[in-house]
Amino acid sequence: MKFGDKKISRRKLLGGAAGATAALPLLHEGVPHQRVHDQLARAGEGGGHAEGIASAAHKGSSHVGTVGRVDPAVNGFDPMEILRDFDRGTVKREGGRTVREFELVAEDRQIEVAPGVKFDAWTYNGRVPGPTLRAREGERVRVRFVNASNHPHTVHFHGIHTSRHDGTPNVGPGNIDPGGSFDYEFDALPFGLHLYHCHTSPLAAHIARGLYGAFIIDPAKGRLPADELVMVMNGFDTNFDRSNEVYAVNTVAFAYHDAPIQVKLGELVRMYVVNVLEFDLINSFHIHANFFDYYPTGTSLEPTELTDTIIQGQAQRGVLELRFAHPGKYMFHGHVSEFADLGWMGFFNVTA
Ligand SMILES: [Cu+2]
């Protein structure tokens, strides 16, 4: 069984077997908190994966998070800015309708996903996730893709469009070779929260390297004004063994744990949450001490549920809306607890 094999291979990694030596220095230096350390040690005692995690928890380490910070200036992008950074492109009128033009450039770039943990990423526009592209329902969207990397890539958008503009190998322009370019063009439909990603084979590798981003199509009539936040749930296979060592929202482990997201008491907060995690079957989002309205895929203006936890498979996404009722610090994290321990954990700081 493929899945079973994967678990064994990760157990080997955690156990510090010979094959893991390349990865351990990275983890050791990069996520130098005691919990991960304990976890690695305990798993090596032969208890297996789950037992290793449980033992680490029982050991009662109080040290969560990272020592040191990832420098946004070195990385070229800042998770705190990515939250509220929307690329609305350049607007022009053609034949009586609005056309919104964007540019995505594929570039190879080393990024830091936790302090000291470097990752040879493949990026759109030098950042992971790529820019959050934003258009309005019914507009024409034109995305100029330039491949400035060393590998063939595409941009595959989730949405409704012709096959030629679907960013699929062997269809239309197919893979765009290094040095090549192509204009993907389609109508912005349907409104909702979508995503884009490279679709070149091996697919998991191209996505896991960082070639993805959120794509928001606003309803024609818009949504209520809100403090809007983009959260792309991702992870990094730092030793390329097809399982992740680091988990995060917007790439940098514990970024919002070390620097909480500032929000206002009583103000409507809207989160665009997209799961692009490779190699793990599910991801989740849980918030403490609050409940949110959930709009799966953002394609309806009526929420389906009032909850504090959602589960997303890969490429699933949804819009979350809430108003914080009390000031204070409130944790949010992946409720796959292992992911939380390995970086997918943060805080909101609610002030009046
Ligand atoms: Cu690719």
- DSSP designation for 153: B
Residue 31 has pLDDT above 60, yes or no: no
AA identity, residue 107: E
CA-wise closest residue to 27 among 115, 122, 111, 120: 115
Helical residues (DSSP H) of the chain, grouped into ranges? 2-14, 23-30, 34-42, 48-58, 72-75, 79-83, 203-208, 255-258, 337-341
Rounded to the nearest angstrom, the distance between the alpha carbon of 211 and the centre of ligand 1 is 7
Quick one: pLDDT at residue 164? 97
- Continuous segment of H or E residues that includes residue 331: strand 328-333
Chain center to CA of 207: 11
Quick one: pLDDT at residue 63? 56
CA-wise closest residue to 257 among 320, 331, 324, 328: 331
- Continuous segment of H or E residues that includes residue 287: strand 282-287
Rounded to the nearest angstrom, the distance between the alpha carbon of 150 and the centre of ligand 1 is 10
Rounded to the nearest angstrom, the distance between the alpha carbon of 146 and the centre of ligand 1 is 12
Rounded to the nearest angstrom, the distance between the alpha carbon of 320 and the centre of ligand 1 is 30
Distance CA 274, CA 296 (A): 10
Rounded to the nearest angstrom, the distance between the alpha carbon of 5 and the centre of ligand 1 is 26
pLDDT, tens digit (0-9, with 9 covering 90-100), for 138-170: 999 999 999 999 999 999 999 999 999 999 999
pLDDT, tens digit (0-9, with 9 covering 90-100), for 97-131: 999 999 999 999 999 999 999 999 999 999 999 99
State mean pLDDT over 236-263: 96
Pairing of strands 317-323, 268-275: antiparallel
- DSSP designation for 38: H
- Comparing 63-77, 129-143, 303-317, which segment has the lowest mean pLDDT? 63-77
Rounded to the nearest angstrom, the distance between the alpha carbon of 7 and the centre of ligand 1 is 26
Percent of the chain with pLDDT over 70: 82
Quick one: pLDDT at residue 196? 98
Residue 64 has pLDDT above 80, yes or no: no
Rounded to the nearest angstrom, the distance between the alpha carbon of 155 and the centre of ligand 1 is 8
Rounded to the nearest angstrom, the distance between the alpha carbon of 206 and the centre of ligand 1 is 4
Rounded to the nearest angstrom, the distance between the alpha carbon of 179 and the centre of ligand 1 is 14
AA identity, residue 300: S
Q: 73-79 contacts: CB < 8 A, separation 24 or more? A: 74/112, 75/111, 75/112, 75/252, 76/109, 76/111, 76/126, 76/127, 77/126, 77/127, 77/128, 77/251, 79/248, 79/249, 79/250, 79/251, 79/252, 79/255, 79/256
Residue 15 has pLDDT above 80, yes or no: no
Rounded to the nearest angstrom, the distance between the alpha carbon of 203 and the centre of ligand 1 is 7
Distance CA 82, CA 251 (A): 10
- Comparing 5-19, 263-277, 302-316, which segment has the lowest mean pLDDT? 5-19
Rounded to the nearest angstrom, the distance between the alpha carbon of 73 and the centre of ligand 1 is 25
Contact 201, 156 (CB under 8 A): no
Residue 189 φ/ψ region, left for φ over 0, alpha for ψ in the -120 to 50 degree band, beta for the rest:
beta
Rounded to the nearest angstrom, the distance between the alpha carbon of 278 and the centre of ligand 1 is 14
Rounded to the nearest angstrom, the distance between the alpha carbon of 200 and the centre of ligand 1 is 5
Contact 66, 341 (CB under 8 A): no
Quick one: pLDDT at residue 159? 97
Rounded to the nearest angstrom, the distance between the alpha carbon of 209 and the centre of ligand 1 is 8
Rounded to the nearest angstrom, the distance between the alpha carbon of 350 and the centre of ligand 1 is 39
Quick one: pLDDT at residue 254? 96
Rounded to the nearest angstrom, the distance between the alpha carbon of 177 and the centre of ligand 1 is 10
Rounded to the nearest angstrom, the distance between the alpha carbon of 152 and the centre of ligand 1 is 6
Contact 121, 152 (CB under 8 A): no
Quick one: pLDDT at residue 66? 74
Pairing of strands 140-147, 97-114: parallel
Considering the chain, what is the average pLDDT of its residues? 86
Rounded to the nearest angstrom, the distance between the alpha carbon of 138 and the centre of ligand 1 is 28
Q: DSSP 3-state assignment of 259?
A: coil
State mean pLDDT over 77-96: 97
pLDDT, tens digit (0-9, with 9 covering 90-100), for 47-62: 333 333 333 333 344 5
Rounded to the nearest angstrom, the distance between the alpha carbon of 149 and the centre of ligand 1 is 9
Rounded to the nearest angstrom, the distance between the alpha carbon of 193 and the centre of ligand 1 is 22
Quick one: pLDDT at residue 89? 98
pLDDT, tens digit (0-9, with 9 covering 90-100), for 276-304: 999 999 999 999 999 999 999 999 999 99
State mean pLDDT over 341-345: 95
Name which residue leads in pLDDT, 340 or 9. 340
Contact 311, 220 (CB under 8 A): no
CA-wise closest residue to 274 among 314, 227, 333: 314
Contact 288, 332 (CB under 8 A): yes
CA distances in angstroms from 289 to 2, 191, 228, 240, listed in the order given: 38, 30, 20, 37
Rounded to the nearest angstrom, the distance between the alpha carbon of 208 and the centre of ligand 1 is 10
Rounded to the nearest angstrom, the distance between the alpha carbon of 14 and the centre of ligand 1 is 29
Distance CA 327, CA 325 (A): 7
Rounded to the nearest angstrom, the distance between the alpha carbon of 180 and the centre of ligand 1 is 13
Contact 24, 16 (CB under 8 A): yes
CA-wise closest residue to 275 among 346, 188, 226, 334: 334
